[in-house]
A and B are shown apart, each in its own frame.
Chain A
Amino acid sequence: NAGVTQTPKFQVLKTGQSMTLQCAQDMNHNSMYWYRQDPGMGLRLIYYSASEGTTDKGEVPNGYNVSRLNKREFSLRLESAAPSQTSVYFCASSEGPLLYGYTFGSGTRLTVV
Chain B
Amino acid sequence: GQQVMQIPQYQHVQEGEDFTTYCNSSTTLSNIQWYKQRPGGHPVFLIQLVKSGEVKKQKRLTFQFGEAKKNSSLHITATQTTDVGTYFCAGRAFGSSNTGKLIFGQGTTLQVKP
Contacts and interface: CB of A to CB of B under 8 A. Distances in A.
B101 A43 contact: no
A31 B9 CA distance: 30
Contacts of A43: 43, 88, 90, 104
Interface string A28-48: 000101010000111111001
Contacts of A40: 9, 106
Among B31, B42, B100, B101, the one with the most A-chain Cβ atoms within 10 Å of its Cβ is B100
Contacts of B103: 45, 59
Interface residues of B, number: 26
A58 B104 contact: no
Interface range on chain A: under 10, 10 to 19, 20 to 34, or 35 or more?
20 to 34
Among B41, B90, B101, the one with the most A-chain Cβ atoms within 10 Å of its Cβ is B101
Interface stretch (A16-24, A75-83, A94-102): A94-102
A106 B42 contact: yes
Given A42-B106, A42-B107, A99-B31, A33 B44 contact: no
Contacts of A98: 30-31, 92, 99
Interface of B: 1, 6, 9, 30-31, 33, 35, 41-45, 48, 50, 88, 90, 92, 99-107
Given A98-B99, A101-B45, 6 more contacts: A42-B105, A43-B43, A43-B104, A49-B100, A58-B101, A90-B42
